[in-house]
Amino acid sequence: MNTFIRWIGIAVVAFIAAPLLIVVPMSFSTAASLQFPPPGWGWQYYQAYFSDPSWLRPTWNSVFIAAMNTLLTMALVVPATFALVRHKFWGKSAANLMMMMPMAVPHIVMAIGYYSYFGELKLVHSKLGVILAHTCLSVPITFLVLSANLKGFDRTLERAARSLGATPRQVFLHITLPILRPGLLISALFAFIQSFDETVVAIFISGRNAETLPRKMFDSIREEADPVIAVISTLLFAIVFAGLIAPSVIKLIRRMTAKTAQQR
Amino acid sequence: MSSYLQLSGVNKTFGNFTALGHIDLEIEKGEFVTFLGPSGSGKTTTLMVIAGFEDATRGEITVDGQSLSHLAPQERNIGIVFQNYALFPHKTAAENVYFPLQMRKVGKKAGLKKAEEMLELVGLSGFAHRLPKELSGGQQQRVALARALVFEPDLLLLDEPLGALDKNLREQMQIEIKRIQKRLGVTTIFVTHDQTEAMSMSDRIVVFSDGAIEQADAPLEIYHRPATRFVADFIGESNLLPATITDAGTRRATSPVLGDVTFGAEGCPQVSDGQTVDLLIRPEHLKLSRDPKEGRQNAQMQIETIVNYGDNAVVIGHASDQQIRVRVPGADVVILKEGDTCHFSWTEDAVFVLTE
């Protein structure tokens, strides 16, 4: 039974990892379009990506939009989470529901809504429009992560700080904020990824001026199946992978330096 | 001449619920006072009102003649050790202890030096640079204590600080807290529901029940001369036996269990003939024997259970439907058997009358 479950596990992992195993080799391909297995090996599409403004511009657009989205989302969600987790007020459950709404409504429905509504406001084809739309989509996940963190926060710490002479503002700056920092960073990261990854709304409203990377990739795969898509996928995967293993690597290095320090 | 800490008519209600009825209490400078009571009796609420985390609905609190009413918690200069220690997890032991000094604008260098001196006083030199999670429960406790004392507070409040520690460590910390408190001479309020802790540490015990003070007295006074049935029952083990006063002048009463009894004169409240009272006899003041003992008052009981503690044992028996507990030296247990009928005896000094 145990081995059976293990094989199922391996099969699931293989199924999840398969796209990567195909995409990464294709990025080093010499073929004119996406083709597997690659007929030959080379760096040419990496060069193409880093020298072609029609790829670099959407990349910067995406980074800029995701960064602005993160700032705006955090500015809205942090105070909202404190209010919703720590205080009782009239209409609280309605407010809670509103926060989660964008998660329940399909993106395509939201996208059509933004398309017509932002059209009225002259926000279609603008970065601001995409940022605003993405912020709406980022709110639920950011709120979920942050509220879980805040619920687990021991408020006795704040009382202790007060008794030790800290004003409410000092308590927030010296105690609450630093302790919540990991949760804040993770929720900000989720907001960033949410925006960077978002395709449906971007296709509807980003237009030429605010074209994001996922939109450009989607257009490209429809028109020419440019292997640069594989390059971008590989690079994104590399960044995420580096981010994932970074903590363990740092820990390992620290342990090694600590060991050599002890030996001395 | 008024006391150092004074609570006058402190009342606290939450909606319809009265958490504190009407608390009057005076505490002298340097005194170690324990608030003792079951959970929900108001002891922690009183502490929170003093600390400023709860506002009193009515009444006033003064420290050294100054009213605390309009001071925020951070302005009261009161050190608190919380039940779960409430150490800041992102700061080292020394930084935790430095925090109150930092808030008082003490420079980092001087402040950290003072913090380390304080850690030394609580027996934690060498642990200054550890994070709370790298310290044991007892060590965290000491850091919390150092942090609550480093800024020379007017009052030290300890909210069930030993609850999470195991028995040996608890006794060690009781002695340690007492030593540090004496050395610094800080006026201290210690909240607990553990009566042995209260007995061993306090100058004075304040017994709380249902949001009111039942009695505030020295530990032995509370034990030997409880003011109410509640105190008698809550502090130590007790036999509380209903009785009627037959002659107040010669201190005689009659009880269905004990028969005719003469009760002690010392600390006896005002009673009148025919009044129904409770008689308190502590289990250790009763003696067991096969036959009635000369020179003592005697009654009969049937032994039901014997609980052995090694050096002593509690014999639980019945006498006319009333449970009787007798504490006997461990060596005497061997001659007793469950189911036996025997006599228990006492002297008049051991019988204490309770009217409330």
> Domain of B78: which CATH number?
3.40.50.300
DSSP designation for B292:
P
My answer on whether B37 and B178 are in the same domain is yes
Q: Which of A157, A167, A178 faces B86 most closely, judged by CB atoms?
A: A157
Contact assessment for residue B133 and residue B71, using Cβ atoms and an 8 Å cutoff: no
Nearest CA-CA distance, residue B83 and chain A, Å: 9
How many angstroms separate the CA atoms of A159 and B64, rounded? 24
Number of domains making up chain B: 2
Res A1: pLDDT: 65
Is B266's pLDDT higher than 80?
no
Residues of A contacting chain B (CB within 8 angstroms): 154, 156-157, 159-167, 170, 174-175, 178-179
What does the pLDDT average to over B217-234?
A: 89
Do β-strands B32-36 and B78-81 pair in parallel, antiparallel, or remain unpaired?
A: unpaired
User: Which of B54, B75, B90, B152 best tests the A interface by mutation, with the highest count of A CBs <10 A?
Assistant: B90
Q: Which chain B residues are within 8 Å of A182, Cβ to Cβ?
A: none
- What average pLDDT does the structure give for chain B? 88
How many angstroms separate the CA atoms of A41 and A73, rounded? 43
Comparing CA positions, the residue from B207, B228, B208 lying closest to residue B218 is: B207
Chain A residue with Cα closest to B51: A163
Chain A residue with Cα closest to B98: A164
The tens digit of pLDDT for each residue in B301-333 reads 888 888 888 888 888 888 888 889 999 887 777
One-letter amino acid at A174 equals: H
| Residue B109, domain extent | 5-230
Chain B residue with Cα closest to A156: B86
How many angstroms separate the CA atoms of B332 and B335, rounded? 6
Q: Which of B187, B207, B230 is the last residue of a domain?
A: B230
pLDDT band at A263 (very low <50, low <70, confident <90, very high): low
How many angstroms separate the CA atoms of A35 and A17, rounded? 18
How many angstroms separate the CA atoms of B13 and B287, rounded? 47
Say what the ipTM of the complex is: 0.81
Residues 6+ apart with CB under 8 A from A113: none
The tens digit of pLDDT for each residue in B167-207 reads 888 888 888 899 999 999 999 999 998 888 888 899 999 99
Q: Which chain A residues are within 8 Å of B100, Cβ to Cβ?
A: 164-165
Q: Which chain B residues are within 8 Å of A164, Cβ to Cβ?
A: 74, 79, 99-100, 103, 147-148, 151
Contact assessment for residue A207 and residue A65, using Cβ atoms and an 8 Å cutoff: no
In sequence order, the β-bridge partners of residue B327 are B314
User: Which of B50, B54, B87, B99 best tests the A interface by mutation, with the highest count of A CBs <10 A?
Assistant: B99
Res B225: pLDDT: 87
Res B148: pLDDT: 94
In sequence order, the β-bridge partners of residue B206 are B35, B216
B219 phi and psi, to 5 degrees? -50, -50
- CB environment B51-88: b (16+ within 10 A), e (fewer): bbebebeebebbbeeeebeeeebbebbbbbbbbbbbbb
Q: Which of B230, B257, B286 is the last residue of a domain?
A: B230
Do β-strands B32-36 and B204-209 pair in parallel, antiparallel, or remain unpaired?
A: parallel
A·B CB contacts under 8 A: 60
Let me know if domain A53-226 sits in CATH 3.30.565.10: no
My answer on whether B251 and B211 are in the same domain is no
Assigned token pair, A28: 């080093």
Chain A residue with Cα closest to B158: A160
In sequence order, the β-bridge partners of residue B308 are B313
How many angstroms separate the CA atoms of A9 and A3, rounded? 10
Q: Which of B212, B230, B248 is the last residue of a domain?
A: B230
My answer on whether B175 and B279 are in the same domain is no
Task: Give A165's Cβ-side CA count (13 Å radius).
Answer: 21
Nearest CA-CA distance, residue A37 and chain B, Å: 51
Are A179 and B90 inside 8 Å of each other by CB? yes
Res A221: pLDDT: 84
Is B1's pLDDT higher than 50?
no
pLDDT band at A264 (very low <50, low <70, confident <90, very high): low
Is A177's pLDDT higher than 90?
yes
Res A209: pLDDT: 80
My answer on whether B259 and B333 are in the same domain is yes
Query: What value does the CA radius of gyration of chain A take, rounded to a whole number of Å?
Result: 23
Q: What is the pTM of this model?
A: 0.80
My answer on whether B342 and B241 are in the same domain is yes
Are B86 and A160 inside 8 Å of each other by CB? yes
User: Which of A163, A180, A185 best tests the B interface by mutation, with the highest count of B CBs <10 A?
Assistant: A163
Residue extents of the structural domains in chain A: 53-226
- Pick from B25-29, B42-46, B332-336, B351-355: least confident: B332-336
The CB density around residue A172, as the number of other CB atoms within 10 Å, is 16
CATH label of the domain that carries residue B261: 2.40.50.140
Where do we find the tokens 């506002």?
B55
Do β-strands B187-192 and B239-247 pair in parallel, antiparallel, or remain unpaired?
A: unpaired
Contact assessment for residue B279 and residue B351, using Cβ atoms and an 8 Å cutoff: yes
